[in-house]
């Protein structure tokens, strides 16, 4: 039988997070482009946008009996289920944004949902293409043990292929 015995190639699931909550965000535009690029030209990889807007501000008082608020549980599940991450990170005051830090912190609460998975950063906007936000984001990821690819290219194709190993 044709194809019998051939193992299906697993699909690498990439969760894409945007640090901007605004509707016309350039950085969310980057994620849309990455999704399109991936669908058209990278076999074996699927990028899914994960919205961080529903997350409340992190407050450990909201963790009750080992449970997180519903939007946080849902978010953590998406992060746990992903194989890799793509961060689209605008620059706010020489750093990355509060909403993105909030999202990283929620998913880092034990058991850490990020650990040992690869990630890449893209950025747009401002007067330096969001470059300074990338430096701070890199430092932050030492905490939750996210493995950032070394590429700091603005070429999404290069970055995405690195994520796939
Ligand atoms: C509070 C705030 C602070 C900002 N600080 C910087 C900055 O330090 N450097 C910079 O280049 N752009 C800065 N910007 C501009 C944003 O990076 C720019 O508008 C970017 O396009 C926002 O991303 P978005 O289009 O995905 O929403 C700032 C914008 C805001 C709202």
Q: Which atom of ligand 1 is nearest to the CA of 90?
A: 23
pLDDT of 24 reads 97
Q: Where are the alpha helices (DSSP H) in the chain?
A: 26-41, 70-81, 98-108, 131-140, 156-163
pLDDT of 111 reads 96
Q: Which residues contact 94 (CB under 8 A, 6 or more apart)?
A: 132, 133, 136
**What is this structure's pTM?**
0.91
pLDDT of 142 reads 86
User: Which of 29, 52, 126 for mutating ligand 1's site (highest number of atoms within 8 Å of CB)?
Assistant: 126
> How many A from CA of 135 to the centre of ligand 1?
15
Full pLDDT tens readout for the chain, 165 residues: 455 556 777 899 999 999 999 999 999 999 999 999 999 999 999 999 999 999 999 999 999 999 999 999 999 999 999 999 999 999 999 999 999 999 999 999 999 999 999 999 999 999 989 999 999 999 998 889 898 887 655 566 667 777 765
Residue 85, beta-bridge partner list? 15, 119
**Which protein residues are within 6 Å of ligand 1, measured from CB?**
20, 22, 25-27, 90-94, 125-128
DSSP state of 61: G
Name the residue at shortest CA distance from atom 11 of ligand 1: 126
pLDDT of 164 reads 65
> How many A from CA of 165 to the centre of ligand 1?
31
Domain 12-160 -> CATH class = alpha beta
Name the residue at shortest CA distance from atom 6 of ligand 1: 92
- Do 89 and 123 form a contact (C-beta atoms < 8 A)? yes
pLDDT of 153 reads 54
> How many A from CA of 43 to the centre of ligand 1?
34
Residue 46, beta-bridge partner list? 13
pLDDT of 148 reads 84
- Domain borders along the chain are 12-160
């Amino acid at each position: 039988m044709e194809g019998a015995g051939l193992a299906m190639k697993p699909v690498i699931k990439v969760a894409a997070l945007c640090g901007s909550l605004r509707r016309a965000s350039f950085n969310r535009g980057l994620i849309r482009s990455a999704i399109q690029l991936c669908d058209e030209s990278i076999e074996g990889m699927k990028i899914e946008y994960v919205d961080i807007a529903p997350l409340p501000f992190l407050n450990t008082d909201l963790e009750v009996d080992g449970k997180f608020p519903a939007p946080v549980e849902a978010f953590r599940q998406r992060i746990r289920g992903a194989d890799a991450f793509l961060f689209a990170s605008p620059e706010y005051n020489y750093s990355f944004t509060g909403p993105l830090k909030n999202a990283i912190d929620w998913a880092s609460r034990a058991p850490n949902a990020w650990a040992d998975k690869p990630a890449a950063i893209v950025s747009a906007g401002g007067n330096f293409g969001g470059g300074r936000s990338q430096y701070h984001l890199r430092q932050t990821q030492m905490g939750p043990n996210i493995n950032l690819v070394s590429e700091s290219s603005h070429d999404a194709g290069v970055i995405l292929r690195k994520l796939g190993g």
